[in-house]
Chain A
Amino acid sequence: MALIIDHNKALSSSPLKVSAPLGAALAFMGMRGCLPMFHGSQGCTAFALVMMVRHFREAIPLQTTAMNEISTILGGMDQVEQGLLNIARRARPEMIGLISTALTETRGEDMGGDVRAIRARNRELADIAVIDVSAPDFAGSLETGWGKAVTAIIRQLVRPAGGKAALNRVNLLPGCHLTPGDVEALKDIVAGFGLEAVVLPDLSDSLDGHVPESYMPTTLGGTGTADVGEMGRSRLTIAVGEHMRIAAKTLEDRTGVPFVVLDRVTGLEAVDRLMVCLSSVAGVPVPARQRRARSQLVDAMLDGHFYFAGRRIAIAGEPSLVWTMGRLVADLGATIAAAVTTRTQPLLADLPAERVIVGDFEDMEDQILEAGGCDLIIANSNARQVSTRHGIPLFRAGFPVFDRLGAAHMVGAGYGGTRDLITGLGNILMESPGHAPDTEHVHDHAAAAAG
């Protein structure tokens, strides 16, 4: 049991948190033919865009209403209207995600009402789904914005089944801690049960790093509005990550499709739960391929646990990432030396750690120093300064990862993903001499040096 501590500090040093509108924009990246737009000053867009470009190494379609001093005083409806029309003319998108920011929310704009009025008087927008999302920067973090965007898409696009027969489908609502590679792995798993997955949003079809045959001003792929509209005809909704609960519940309220929230899809018993769930929906036994993959994971745990046992690991990230990684390393015998996250998430109280701090990388550094050092940091690239200062290896996970290749393809989901993740972490632990004074490794090295 961990104590969740939020000091509500005046000074955030080396921030861990990124903003909610960025999370919302990221969700829209998984929608087909989409071009999201921030309703804010143009810097809001520039920063979010650059961060996503650096992480995915892909062009990111993201626009701005370019609020200025005058429109901030008078109200931004004209800016929204001009922005929507400009995007419609230039990019001909299937969907526009309109995301508020701290600037327009502090002003108190009624964006939803404005959009309705704008659509009523502009026929050019008739064929474009315009989804408005309220996601001010001053509330929550990446997960918050992602969850709000998915919920808004469901509210504005999903139709009740209306008596139509259920399709052989499950809805998959992946949390923002899952990479395009994770989503791809989950789709494969679902397909193995003879089911089709409608994924909302599907980053694995847009930000998986592929080379399209022609120039596209919008997202390169993703889930289409028609498929979203039919989500009411699926048999079950599987949400991954606590921050997807509201979206799953909203979908159930609108359509009656029941849902389960899986806290994670990494780790032996977590993936077991996913398999049982899919098997009962599909009415078929777990496929031989997954049984084999499970056996491989068990073997990887047997081979790998030596290198985790007794090692001290610091983890920082969004709640879902801290939970997923924390449970994984703890289940292999490691100790959580520091756990730092971006916002209070009650589930984290069940983490086998002394405390979980809502804070920043300075908090993580202080925790590590207080613990007398640690063997490994699991966090995004912004932990690199702490890693360098103390000579502690950094396993990059979460968002953003801008100083490594392949952030989109790091897979930790499913039996196979868990196996690869254990391998990746285990190899670093095997190589690093160990900063915790009482580990066996230090003895080994000391003995070798003496001999």
Chain B
Amino acid sequence: MLKRKIQELMTEPGCAINRAKSDTDRRKGCGTSLVPGAAAGGCAFDGAKIALQPITDVVHLVHGPIACEGNSWDGRNSWSSGSSLYRRGFTTDLGNLDIVQGGERKLYKAIRQAIKRHQPAAVFVYQTCVGALIGDDVDAVCRAAAQRLGTPVIPINAPGFAGSKNLGNRLGGDALFEHVIGTVEPDDAGPCDINILGEYNVAGELDQFRPLLGRLGIRLRASITGDSRYRDVAAAHTARANMVLCSQALVTLARRMEEKWGIPYFEGSFYGISDTSEALRAIARMLVGRGAESTLIQRTEDLIAEEEARAWARLAPYKARLAGRKVLLYTGGVKSWSVIQALQEVGMEVVGSSVRKATEADRIKALERLGGDEDKLADAITPRDMYAMFKDGKADMMLSGGRSQFVALKARTPWIDINQERHHGYAAYDGMVELVRQIDLSINNPIWARVRAPAPWEES
């Protein structure tokens, strides 16, 4: 059952990478085999949790030994404007005896206790490797609990050994489609409602574009899943359009919502100035196509003109401070190209961009923005080579995720986190200005000269 689901998810027709493959490659699916002793990244459970944990008013209950939740809870910087229930960690903490006797009864009791104490909008139950291995039927326990306790209890069947983090994202999306979306009929559905899929409100980024939508009279019915409430996600089928961010994670969900409820979708990004504008245009077009007032298109253009002019004007003062500085982008996906334009606009030279986890379309866009220089497109760079790039002065700073931060810092090189652990929002027009501001604060910090200077007793 899980196997068939994975097969489906891994041959997603809506996925651009998949479309670009030959027939034989496509049949193999996109599950890259992980190399023991040389693998990095999370498991499927991790991926499912990342995709769903931002739903704020839900108890997220992990059915497994302590490692799965105890080693990771409250670790993601996903903000909430309401409930903080999602920030608590819940687990059945399976012990020796549970492994021998089975954990279903314990899981049922755990669900009951969580509902009694916290009155959540729903309980999401995450299966793990050990729960699956001892044969606990999480689906059945959830069904029974939902019936008897009168609160939705949603099984998330994504044990770690099923595959990668990315697969877990998709399995998480699948659980929403199977059990949540379409279960609540709102009484206020309107012609300008949209959903955004694959946005997790890291560092409060939603509030860098939600107000823009608001000014156009567009309502975000559900963000899936950043800063969302269970009922909003459950009513997401009433939106008129879906925008998919981070396409590889939740594009399957978007395609299925189109098939079942006729909601058209597009893939876009709120990273970068012109990309934000493109995204707003696409939303407006799609809504007008589905019956919104046609003036929306002109109003969107007016807002774009105003916001772009404001953003570029705010970036101008940084030119003198950043011109000629060499930056390495090591992130992947849409960010491999979407921030290049703004960096170039302030005069920085992008000496390389990693296109791991990026689609062929992402690659082409990145290449175009890098002036067609293939050498600047890197797949993965080993930490050793990266360290050498900094030591040899080939890059003055790096924008990347937390995993590579110490390669830069130990080489005494400025570094900014632009992945999931980031502490500043970099979305839309304001976000791009903030990113450039943070780059300036980092690269022009006086500490670099100090920490690079040799000690008085060392030869320079």
Contacts and interface: CB of A to CB of B under 8 A. Distances in A.
A238 interface: no
Given A102-B130, A103-B130, A212 B34 contact: no
Contacts of A15: 66, 69-70, 73, 89, 91, 93
B161 interface: yes
Interface in A1-36: 8-15, 17-19, 21-22
A44 B64 CA distance: 12
B113 A138 contact: no
Interface string A88-114: 001000000000011100110000000
**Most chain A beta-carbon neighbours within 10 Å: one of B160, B384, B412:** B160
Nearest to A81: B36
Contact of B65 (A8, A9, A82, A102): A102
B84 interface: yes
Contacts of B71: 18-19, 22, 47-48, 51
Given A13-B88, A13-B90, A65-B36, A103 B161 contact: yes
A74 to B, nearest CB: 12
Contacts of A64: 34, 36-37, 39
A137 B129 CA distance: 12
Contacts of A13: 88-90, 114, 117
B67 A69 contact: no
Contacts, number: 209
Contacts of B133: 72, 103, 106-107
Interface residues of B, number: 68
B49 to A, nearest CB: 9
A42 B384 CA distance: 22
Interface stretch (A52-60, A181-189, A300-308, A438-446): A52-60
A270 interface: no
A141 interface: yes
A136 B134 CA distance: 15
B45 A43 contact: yes
A12 B402 CA distance: 29
B384 A66 contact: no
B113 A11 contact: yes
Interface string A35-50: 0010011111111101
B137 interface: no
Interface string B145-165: 000000000000001111111
Given A19-B67, A106-B130, 7 more contacts: A10-B109, A12-B93, A15-B73, A18-B66, A64-B36, A68-B162, A106-B134
Interface of A: 8-15, 17-19, 21-22, 37, 40-48, 50-51, 53-54, 58-59, 63-69, 72, 79-80, 82-87, 90, 101-103, 106-107, 136-139, 141, 211-212, 214-215, 217, 382, 385, 402
Interface of B: 3, 33-46, 61, 64-75, 84, 87-96, 98-99, 106-107, 109-110, 113-114, 117, 129-130, 133-134, 159-165, 383-384, 387-388, 402, 406-407, 410, 412
